[in-house]
Amino acid sequence: MAEKKKIQSASENTVSAIQNAKPVGSATGYRVGAIILWVLALACEVLAILLAGGKLRITFMSTLVGIIILIVLDLVFLIIGSQLWKKANHISPASKKNPTKYWLWNNLGLIMAVFCFLPLIILLLTNKDLDKKTKTIATIAAVVALLIGGVAGYEFNDLSKEDKDAAITALEGTAVYWTPYGRVYHTHVIDEELSHTTDDGKDCPYLNRSDSLTRGTVEEAMAAGKTKLCSYCQRHDNIEGEGLRTDDVPEPEGTTTP
């Protein structure tokens, strides 16, 4: 007998709420939060520029320490803001009908990383008044922060409105499941809490590495960053749909497609 899995509600993480998962909510709050944090990040950059240019003086710490602290705060605000923006994009994705807007919308975090650090880097490199040690260390710190913030802001797991609509149409309200990690959601799952079994009585083999699953709607899965349907589940549950995104994983050894 298959080991019983721990099934959690997508909304409340409790078994008692499994059949009544709540909606993911509006993306507006996440976007507002992201913008506020990005403004704070830009404010930290402005302070660092003023400090490096001698327009702002701090008596209880060196200029270098002050710049490093502001760079770190800038990076923290930037990264958190970028993650909130990505969350909003998974709840309310942009349409691919406008490719320019789609790219900008999905990579605004990357763009903000450039705005939050590049002007400071340019100032540090061109400033002739800073001592060599402060200039070198501060510039390296700013460049590293730009790279980290850029990677954190870039959308490696993009989702379009068309992708989301195609998945909702193909699954027609079917419950989906996902693990804490990874970018896919599944349908080929034995759910003992709901007395649901698959046709072959076996879970998707790609779930073997996790004993904890979350159950919810496609919208909830995508809001959690699970943007593609497991291709094994798609094949074995015979799910078809124009434009449906799958992860295109190969058939595991020892399995057959119906």
- Structural domain boundaries enclosing 111: 28-153
- Confidence label for 252 from pLDDT (cuts 50, 70 and 90): low
The string of pLDDT tens digits covering residues 65-124 is 999 999 999 999 999 999 999 999 999 999 999 999 999 999 999 999 999 999 999 999
Burial code of 214-246, b = ≥16 C-beta within 10 A, e = fewer? bbbbbbbbbbbbbbbbbbbbbbbbebebeebbb
Same domain, 171 and 148: no
Whether the Cβ atoms of residue 210 and residue 180 lie closer than 8 Å to each other: yes
Among 88, 79, 89, smallest CA distance to 41 is for: 79
Structural domains in the chain (count) = 2
Whether the Cβ atoms of residue 102 and residue 96 lie closer than 8 Å to each other: yes
147, amino acid identity = L
Instruction: Tell whether 243 is covered by a domain.
Output: no
- Confidence label for 253 from pLDDT (cuts 50, 70 and 90): low
The string of pLDDT tens digits covering residues 154-208 is 999 889 999 999 999 998 878 888 887 888 888 887 665 555 555 655 777 777 6
Same domain, 145 and 185: no
Instruction: Tell whether 135 is covered by a domain.
Output: yes
